[in-house]
Amino acid sequence: MILIPILALFVGLLLGAQLSSVVPPAFAPYLSVAVLAGLDSICGGSRSYLEGKFQADIFSSGFLFNILLAIFFVWLGLGIGLNLLLAVAVVFGTRIFTNLSLIRRVFVSRMSDQKAKRMVERESAAKAESESA
């Protein structure tokens, strides 16, 4: 099930690379933070799925809310003459890396658990074999 969002991400990236559309410079700051906010939500949703805590309604509302909030901060910053784009990028970048490190930790934990389980199975099989001989 986790492969569906990853596959959708790669399909979206390929389609985006093939379609030649130019983003007007006025919309570039908004689009950049919207993409970062979307990636943050996707990483957070993937992490919660791996931890068994995923809820589609929370993911959907968080995805939309993160994007709108990021766009609002950039709009506000441009309106008052303060570059909040950098602050938003730092926050979402930090959250993305945090979620990715937690995803990595879940994978490493699962791999070590599987390795330990196989080790116990081998030992019990060897013990049963030695007792039957």
In 51-83, alpha helices (H): 56-80
The reply to whether 63 falls in a domain is: yes
Note whether 71 and 32 are within 8 A (CB): no
pTM, 2 dp: 0.74
How far is the C-alpha of 116 from the C-alpha of 121, rounded, in Å? 9
The count of structural domains within the chain is 1
Residue 130 has pLDDT above 80, yes or no: no
The reply to whether 47 falls in a domain is: yes
The reply to whether 112 falls in a domain is: no
So what's the pLDDT on residue 17?
83
Residue 57 has pLDDT above 70, yes or no: yes
The reply to whether 126 falls in a domain is: no
The reply to whether 3 falls in a domain is: no
The reply to whether 27 falls in a domain is: yes
What are the structure tokens assigned to 66, written together? 């993160």
Residue 81 structural domain: 21-103
The reply to whether 128 falls in a domain is: no
In this structure, how many other beta carbons lie within 10 angstroms of the beta carbon of residue 88? 22
Tokens 């990853």 found at = 6
Contacts of 27 (CB under 8 A, 6+ apart): none
The reply to whether 42 falls in a domain is: yes
